[in-house]
Amino acid sequence: MSSIGTVDGLASASHGRTASGLGARLRRLQPGLVLAWIVIAIVVLFALFPQLFTSYSPVQGVPVEKLKAPSALHILGTDALGRDLFTRIVYGAVHSLTGAFVAVAVGLVVGTAFGVIAGSTGGIVEDGIMRLVDVLLSIPGLLLMLSIIILLGFGTVNAAIAVGITSVAAFARLSRSEVVRVRRSEYVEAAFGSGGTFLAVLWRHVLPNSLVSVLGFAALQFGGAILAISTLGFLGYGAPPPTPEWGLLIAEGRNYIGTAWWLTTAPGIVVVLVVLSANRISQSLGGRK
């Protein structure tokens, strides 16, 4: 309790600061959230400037050094070809992050477009779009992703698109419900009342007011997308070896799980940390509304 500050503050004025400014501000920071931002910042730096973090090559191995346990020289150990695992994780960040970005972007743009069209027009168009969305939702996500990849071919970008398409339905549903809610509000009616045309009102009032929670949802999807892309990589549907994609790292390490535990554990922990951080940040964005 900060009762000393409270009493002092109130004795002088009805508006009192309970404690000195800096201390109070520090206390308000949530440590979990700060940690989440730090994790994401580091991973983004991994993706942008991998050379800064390591001097080893991500693909060229040193055969003598194979399957070394974590040590001062190789902080996360090496794999069967003698490649430094930490280096591979650092260089893999760019694949996982761009994949997740592309996936979320596809879901956000396509899904929101469907949702806004459905929510703002209504009638047969809305019914048509939303039934299509229902069909998308009824197919198990992994099955849908695998089918799309088989249609498009293997690769990082194709895997990302596949992940994105599975989230189209969720984005469409959310944005439609938001648009419908905003459309019924009085200020939208008032905008029509002051002579706004359909498109002008949609652009000026409906879109900005309905997209807030859609963007919060996009941040949440980001964590999910990293996980889904790693899943596809693990199953061998993503980037081909020797790309150091995180899911692929786990899959390759599986063969040595009995002798070299670090090959699966380290990239696994990285994936978990990044997904948790993304979820924590999206939660804070959503709560701030």
Partner 1 sequence: MTTPLLSVENLSVAYREGDHTARVTHEVSFAIAPGEVVALVGESGSGKTTTAQAVIGLLPENGRIETGAIRLNGEDISRWSGKRLDVIRGRQISLIPQDPTSSLNPVRTVGAQVGEILRIHGERDRSLIEARVIELLGRVGLSDPELRARQYPHELSGGMKQRVLIATAIALKPQLIIADEPTSALDVTVQRRILDLIDELRRENGTAVLLVTHDLGVAADRADRIVVLQGGRIQETGETASLLASPRSPYARRLLADAPSLSARTFRAAPAPGEDAIIVDNLVHEYQSSGREPFRAVDSVSFTVRAGTTHAIVGESGSGKTTTVRDIVGFGRPTAGAIRIAGTDISALKGEALRKFRQTIQLVYQNPFSSLDPRQTVFGIVEEPLINFGERDAAVRAQKVNALLERVGLPEALRKRRPRALSGGQRQRVAIARALILDPKVLVLDEAVSALDVTVQAQILKLLDELQKERGLTYLFVSHDLAVVRQISDTVSVLHNGQQVEAGSVEDVFLRPQSDYTRELIDAIPGKRSHALA
Interface with partner 1 by CB under 8 A: which residues?
6, 9-10, 14-19, 21, 24-25, 28, 185-187, 189-197, 200, 204-205, 208-209
CB of 239 to partner 1, least distance (A): 41
CB of 190 to partner 1, least distance (A): 5
Looking at the Cβ atoms of 19 and 105, the one nearer to partner 1 is 19
Looking at the Cβ atoms of 177 and 209, the one nearer to partner 1 is 209
Distance CA 276, CA 64 (A): 37
CB of 1 to partner 1, least distance (A): 11
Looking at the Cβ atoms of 153 and 195, the one nearer to partner 1 is 195
What's the distance, Cα to Cα, between the start and end of the chain in Å?
28
Q: What is the DSSP letter of 238?
A: S
Q: Give 52's contacts (C-beta < 8 A, 6+ positions apart).
A: 45
Looking at the Cβ atoms of 28 and 288, the one nearer to partner 1 is 28
| Residue 249 CB neighbour total at 10 angstroms | 27
Asked if residue 172 lies in contact with residue 112, where contact means CB atoms within 8 angstroms, the answer is yes
Instruction: Give Cα 271 to chain centroid, integer Å.
Output: 11
Quickly tell me which residue has 């045309």 as its tokens: 197
Nearest of 175, 166, 163 to residue 103 by alpha carbon: 163
Looking at the Cβ atoms of 26 and 151, the one nearer to partner 1 is 26
CB of 218 to partner 1, least distance (A): 19
CB of 64 to partner 1, least distance (A): 60
Q: What is the DSSP letter of 78?
A: B
